[in-house]
Structure 1
Amino acid sequence: MKKKNWQIKLGIFLMIFSGVFFALTILVPFMELETNQKVFWSSASFIAMEVVFWIGGLIVGKELFTKYKARLNPVNWFKEKNKKKNY
């Protein structure tokens, strides 16, 4: 069971760590680089972000991946769970 727990933690870490590459994708255009270098580094960081995220998703498995993918989606951050209507 410890091995499985370790794999799940690694997968979740990789899914969250992919945000670092996303931040790099946003920051690259503001760096003092030539245009072709900016295009290369922003594309490379975007591809790295996707690869790291999906590797983490494969490690944690389908059930946890869909659960954490929904939690990492900014659209779902401020939604109330179990909204109850009082009539």
Structure 2
Amino acid sequence: MSPAELEEILTRVVHPDDPHRRVLLPDEQLDTPLDDLDVDSLSRAEMVAVLGDTYRIDISDEQAAALDTPRAVLEFVSAHATPGGPWA
């Protein structure tokens, strides 16, 4: 998973009704808490569901709670994604 792919997912869950707003993740924001990027608890739950479906990952509640920064999400997906996902 790339930062650009995560940007797309976060944009869909954070701004679903506004096609002109985007979540951007420059390198300096990869360690920013998701809460500071306007990812509330509902958006985070939706993000986890999309990640699970897209990358064929089972994500426990405990694992989801640890996905608190974009970098944590990227590292988790890289470590747990099932071969044959969209990155292949």
Give the TM-score of the pair, scaled to structure 2.
Answer: 0.28
Larger % of helix: which?
Answer: 1
Larger Rg over CA atoms: 1
